[in-house]
């Protein structure tokens, strides 16, 4: 199993912390976010990683070298020339990811103890193209799944905007996305988009003919570290739990 860690973002919400470093290297209880994510994924048995870079890319590369790449096989997907969003990043990293039947995608600013192995098992059991770890967390933007737990709609509850998949979608159940998902490599055979695009928009298009499934995640903790207030919450939690 391989994991693709999305670490190319500008970290705008975390300014001024990201004025001189990438979001992935913002520290949480003395360790950069990226280190927390790699260590959590290593606990799940993952030792092969692809990490995309853009903002202060050289600092991420230097950090990985200083850490001896955490005794893992780590490849860099270079987006220095242009930030490609989540879908574009996936396509750009195809050559680095397509040697695995399935691979995890994990945002660098998500800290959680979601059971990755249960996510993988659920994904394989359903023979899905993609499986999204979701939860009932409060969020203005949510994904809706039909009775078969297959993606059928995205909704912004603040504006009322919706994006629908061409699939049965009566009385969808809405969940927030955790920022953790698993894909089968055949997804690359179905990407027609080019350049910069969202992976969620890709999922909504592919959901018409493919299984894009929900995995309702159970966990003790989950934090979006991309916001100053939750960064502080997570820091306090980690200190108390001695993680």
Domain range annotation of the chain: 2-241
* Distance from C-alpha of 125 to C-alpha of 238, rounded to nearest angstrom: 33
- CA 181 and chain centroid, separation: 6
* Distance from C-alpha of 179 to C-alpha of 170, rounded to nearest angstrom: 25
For residue 240, what pLDDT is reported?
86
For the chain, residues with pLDDT lower than 70 are 242-243
Residue of 84, 78, 30, 72 lying closest to 58 (CA atoms): 78
* Distance from C-alpha of 156 to C-alpha of 118, rounded to nearest angstrom: 29
Structure tokens at 211: 């299984």
- Are the C-beta atoms of residues 65 and 130 closer than 8 Å to each other? no
- Are the C-beta atoms of residues 160 and 99 closer than 8 Å to each other? no
Q: What is the dihedral of CA 201, 21, 111, 160, to 10 degrees?
A: -30
- Are the C-beta atoms of residues 130 and 203 closer than 8 Å to each other? yes
CATH of domain 2-241: 3.90.550.10
Interior/surface letters 180-211, b for 16+ CB within 10 angstroms, e for the rest = bbbbbbebeeebebeebbebbebbbbbbeebb
- Are the C-beta atoms of residues 39 and 134 closer than 8 Å to each other? no
For residue 243, what pLDDT is reported?
59
pTM of the model as a whole: 0.96
For residue 241, what pLDDT is reported?
81
Helices (H), 79-206: 85-92, 94-97, 116-125, 199-206
């Amino acid at each position: 199993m391989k994991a693709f860690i999305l670490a190319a973002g500008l970290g705008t919400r975390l300014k001024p912390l990201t004025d001189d470093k990438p979001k992935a290297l913002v520290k949480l209880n003395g360790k950069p976010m990226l280190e927390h994510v790699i260590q959590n994924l290593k606990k799940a048995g993952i030792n092969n990683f692809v990490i995309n870079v853009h903002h202060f890319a050289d600092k991420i590369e230097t950090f990985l070298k200083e850490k001896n790449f955490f005794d893992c096989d780590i490849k860099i997907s270079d987006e220095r020339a242009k930030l490609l969003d989540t879908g574009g990043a996936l396509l750009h990293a195809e050559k680095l990811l397509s040697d695995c039947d399935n691979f995890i995608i994990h945002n660098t600013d998500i800290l959680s103890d979601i059971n990755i192995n249960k996510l993988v098992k659920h994904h394989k059991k359903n023979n899905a193209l993609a499986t999204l770890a979701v939860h009932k967390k409060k969020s203005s933007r949510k994904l809706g799944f039909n009775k078969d737990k297959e993606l059928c709609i995205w909704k912004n509850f603040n504006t009322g905007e919706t994006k629908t998949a061409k699939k049965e979608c009566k009385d969808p159940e809405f969940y927030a996305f955790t920022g953790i998902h698993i894909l089968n490599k055949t997804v690359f055979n179905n990407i027609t988009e080019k350049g910069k695009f969202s992976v969620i928009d890709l999922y909504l298009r592919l959901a018409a003919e493919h299984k894009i499934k929900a995995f309702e995640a159970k966990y003790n903790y989950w934090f979006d570290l991309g916001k100053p207030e939750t960064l502080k919450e997570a820091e306090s939690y980690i200190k108390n739990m001695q993680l």
